[in-house]
């Protein structure tokens, strides 16, 4: 149990670090912990927007509030939005019982939220003008034994690696599901699993398509408009690309055609549950990777359609997911090109 | 696609029947449809409560509004609560292309929601005083090809069968997951899967415990108080019964002890996600059967705990689930006794 950071919880007692109001961010580590020398915080977009709007884009006031939150809570956990972000730094010390595969000197990104990461800032954020989500910072952060950290690859720009890490759960879980899928004998195309990806042109969608294809699947992408269709067709990641509004169940099912064995939802808008279910064959699996997914809409939708589908809540953690996704990006130039275009557009 | 009832949707065009504002409830059936002669509606508790409060428990006014909703929408779909209920009736006509395993004369319960069931009322609900969720009614209802219906067993009171049908997805899916679970060699107790059920003393929880045990699992139940613990211990459905608040992650994990291979959440309160994840072994599965489950809390919780667990959205439909659950009730007298006590208390 200590591996989840309970010893860092100051108040209220007994909750997990994410649910805590205040953490102990002192730099001395326990046997399962790892200390990071912080270089940069990447604030969650929703959190930064709330702070910027509250302070009318006054950088000094935004900086002062971030410092106040971290000093008060021992973590950068925005009390209004409930969100955090991630950080980049260098591993300074690894406790003897830590299971994390890092060593002092590694440059890493933390892949768990800042909302549960003990954080201490020592430079008053003097290098930050308060006007961007990217926060140069000095200080220390603590990772627990049960945590997730990615070593930044030498061959990729950090912002590219971070963008990949941000969505790396989807391709890894898709790979696992495709490889574990047993087709019924006599089913159409019984030799090959079909994977449909709603939102196939986005960051998580394109990595998911690449992972599905590498796992041996036939791939179908559903995208929202002609620009995305053309970009994805040019990238060549899908055997079929169709345009449909992911919130329109009938349109999605028609776009996918023959029901898919595995459908992956990578569209971050509400209302995509029924289309995904309707586009999936009986005995198939739907993986929901959008935080806009409604649990009741999925559960009641499958029942209302008498759909015998397995519905997975997309877990952002699969062992080895960060390396898996970076490896895909390296091996599939089309995915890298899509990512670079998205980053340039942001 | 016709199997999901698209031809019954009047407005807006193109949506599924559940999302439709108005359905065509005419009694003539299409080739994949089945017509039921209605005997009784069971209104969803939330829907009835809203109507009763709106009309200050005036039975005539409540009845008038139910008639108005059904006449306007072609289905008993409460526009405020968004919920429906189920109905009991007798099969009158089955289309030649219907895949449903029923024939004329069968007394059945519809296991899909009234929110997607075309319904016509012909008696003005003259036999109903408006003061109960149980609505004697005459009229017709339509089932589509992709629908779910349960023949009422001769040997059980209808209210007992309905109570079982209401939760029958949980034991059937648990059975499937337990039988499909592959334990890693060398894992503690590698010969037997452990299933933990949060809310083990309730209706879905007790059936789930019985299903898990019949599938060969060791069973652990977490309940909320001593009365439930004593009742469940007496029933003998679990190898271990512990008391914990399901919203307290640390307490749940301690109550379960050695992490479970499969954890099933049958507690209908928000905030049970993290405890279920923390109580589950790496490589294990969490099945969420509570409509109070938060999708983001589950997804972010697993990531924050670096928990390699498969998280399933409890699908209310598994082929054969109604018969499976009724069979369990017949074979396990302790489950039947718990159900009868719950029904008597309602």
Give B190's pLDDT tier (boundaries 50, 70, 90).
Answer: low
Bridge partner residues of B286 (DSSP)? B263, B311
Cα angle vertex A14, ends B299, A48, to 5°? Answer: 50
pTM: 0.91
Give A70's pLDDT tier (boundaries 50, 70, 90).
Answer: very high
C-beta separation of A320 from A163 below 8 A: no
Q: How far apart are CA B148 and CA B143, in angstroms?
A: 8
DSSP B153: P
Which pLDDT tens digit goes with each residue over B24-54?
999 999 999 999 999 999 998 889 999 999 9
A86 touches chain B (CB under 8 A): no
How close A331 gets to chain B, by Cα (Å)?
Answer: 26
Cβ separation A18–B304 shorter than 8 A: yes
Q: How far apart are CA B276 and CA B280, in angstroms?
A: 6
- The tokens describing B170, both together, are 């949980």
Q: Could you tell me the CA-to-CA distances from B144 to A152, A207, A306, B86, B88 in Å, in that order?
A: 54, 38, 10, 15, 16
Mean pLDDT of all residues in B207-225 = 97
How close B77 gets to chain A, by Cα (Å)?
Answer: 13
Which pLDDT tens digit goes with each residue over B241-291?
999 999 999 999 999 999 999 999 999 888 999 999 999 999 999 999 998
Name which of A199, A208, A202 is nearest A169 in CA terms.
A208
Residue A188 confidence (pLDDT) above 60 = no
Q: How far apart are CA B107 and CA B103, in angstroms?
A: 9
A116 touches chain B (CB under 8 A): yes
Q: How far apart are CA A253 and CA A267, in angstroms?
A: 15
Cβ neighbours of B294 in A, within 8 Å: 295
- The tokens describing A31, both together, are 């046997």
- The tokens describing B100, both together, are 């449903």
Which pLDDT tens digit goes with each residue over B70-103?
999 999 999 998 889 999 999 999 999 999 999 9
Could you give phi then psi for residue B329, rounded to 5 degrees? -60, -40
How close A301 gets to chain B, by Cα (Å)?
Answer: 8
Helix then strand count (H, E) for chain B reads: 11, 14
Cβ separation B315–A300 shorter than 8 A: no
Give the rounded percent of residues in chain A with a pLDDT score beyond 90.
86
ipTM of the complex: 0.90
Which residue on chain A is closest to B312 by alpha carbon? A312
| Alpha carbons within 13 A on the beta-carbon side of B306 | 22
Give A309's pLDDT tier (boundaries 50, 70, 90).
Answer: very high
Could you give phi then psi for residue A86, rounded to 5 degrees? -140, 180
B18 touches chain A (CB under 8 A): yes
- Alpha-carbon dihedral B141, B147, B151, B152, rounded to 10 degrees: -70
Nearest to B18 among A113, A254, A304 (CB): A304
Q: How far apart are CA A63 and CA A126, in angstroms?
A: 9
Residue A345 pLDDT: 80
Cβ separation A303–B169 shorter than 8 A: yes
Look at the alpha carbons of B285, B291, B294, B295 in this order and tell me if their dihedral is positive or negative: positive
Cβ neighbours of B302 in A, within 8 Å: 313, 315-317
Give B14's pLDDT tier (boundaries 50, 70, 90).
Answer: confident
Mean pLDDT of all residues in A176-200 = 79
Residue B183 pLDDT: 56
Q: How far apart are CA A262 and CA A242, in angstroms?
A: 17
Name which of A203, A270, A261, A275 is nearest A232 in CA terms.
A203
Task: Give the strand pairing for A218-223 and A240-243.
Answer: parallel
Name which of A161, A114, A316, A31 is nearest B306 in CA terms.
A316
Nearest to B302 among A4, A293, A316 (CB): A316
C-beta separation of B175 from B211 below 8 A: yes
Residue A262 confidence (pLDDT) above 70 = yes
Nearest to B250 among A6, A254, A310 (CB): A6
Q: Could you tell me the CA-to-CA distances from A140 to A122, A126, A159, A312, B69 in Å, in that order?
A: 8, 16, 21, 36, 61
Residue B1 confidence (pLDDT) above 70 = no
Which pLDDT tens digit goes with each residue over A320-344?
999 999 999 999 999 999 999 988 8
| pLDDT averaged over every residue in chain B | 93
- Alpha-carbon dihedral A273, A278, A281, A282, rounded to 10 degrees: 80
Give B343's pLDDT tier (boundaries 50, 70, 90).
Answer: confident
C-beta separation of A207 from A335 below 8 A: yes
Report B:231-290 residues touching A (Cβ under 8 A).
248-251, 253-254, 274, 278, 288
Give A185's pLDDT tier (boundaries 50, 70, 90).
Answer: very low
Mean pLDDT of all residues in B330-337 = 96
Cα angle vertex B248, ends B244, B252, to 5°? Answer: 50
Give the helix/strand (H/E) hosting B206: helix B203-214
Residue B185 pLDDT: 45
C-beta separation of B286 from B278 below 8 A: no
Residue B186 confidence (pLDDT) above 60 = no
How close B58 gets to chain A, by Cα (Å)?
Answer: 31
Cβ separation A250–B317 shorter than 8 A: no
Give the helix/strand (H/E) hosting B240: strand B240-243
Cβ separation A308–B295 shorter than 8 A: no
- The tokens describing A179, both together, are 């490889």
Q: How far apart are CA A281 and CA B4, in angstroms?
A: 14
Which residue on chain A is closest to B116 by alpha carbon? A304
Question: CB neighbours (10 Å) of residue B219?
Answer: 24
Could you give phi then psi for residue A177, rounded to 5 degrees? -70, -40
Cβ neighbours of A111 in B, within 8 Å: 303
């Amino acid at each position: 149990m200590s591996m989840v950071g309970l010893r860092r919880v100051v108040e209220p007692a007994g909750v997990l670090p994410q649910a805590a109001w205040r953490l102990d961010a002192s730099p001395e580590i326990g046997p399962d912990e790892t200390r990071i020398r912080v270089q940069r915080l990447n604030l969650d977009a929703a959190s930064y927007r709330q702070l910027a709007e509250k302070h009318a884009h006054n950088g000094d006031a935004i900086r002062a509030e971030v410092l106040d939150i971290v000093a008060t809570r021992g973590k950068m956990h925005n009390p209004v939005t409930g969100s955090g972000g991630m950080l980049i730094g260098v591993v300074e010390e690894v406790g003897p019982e830590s299971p994390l595969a890092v060593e002092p000197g590694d440059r890493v990104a933390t892949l768990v939220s800042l909302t549960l990461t003990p954080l201490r800032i020592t430079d008053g954020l003097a290098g930050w003008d308060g006007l961007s989500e990217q926060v140069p910072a000095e200080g220390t952060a603590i990772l627990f034994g049960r945590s997730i950290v990615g070593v930044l690859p030498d061959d990729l720009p950090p912002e590219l690696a971070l963008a990949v890490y941000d969505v790396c759960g989807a391709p890894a879980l898709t790979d696992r599901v495709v490889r574990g899928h047993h087709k019924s004998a006599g089913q159409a195309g019984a030799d090959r699993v079909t994977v449909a990806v709603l939102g196939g042109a986005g960051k998580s969608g394109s990595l998911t398509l690449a992972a599905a294809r590498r796992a041996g699947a036939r791939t179908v992408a559903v995208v929202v408009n002609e620009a995305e269709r053309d970009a994805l067709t040019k990238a060549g990641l899908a055997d079929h690309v169709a345009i449909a509004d992911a919130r329109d169940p009938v349109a999605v099912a028609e776009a996918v055609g023959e029901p898919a064995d595995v459908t992956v939802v990578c569209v971050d808008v509400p209302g995509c549950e029924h289309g995904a279910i309707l586009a999936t064959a009986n005995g198939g699996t739907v993986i929901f990777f959008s935080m806009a997914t409604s649990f009741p809409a999925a559960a009641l939708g499958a029942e209302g359609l008498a759909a015998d589908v397995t519905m997975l809540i997309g877990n952002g953690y699969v062992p080895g997911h960060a390396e898996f996704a970076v490896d895909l990006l390296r091996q599939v130039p089309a995915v890298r090109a899509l990512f670079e275009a998205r980053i340039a557009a942001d």
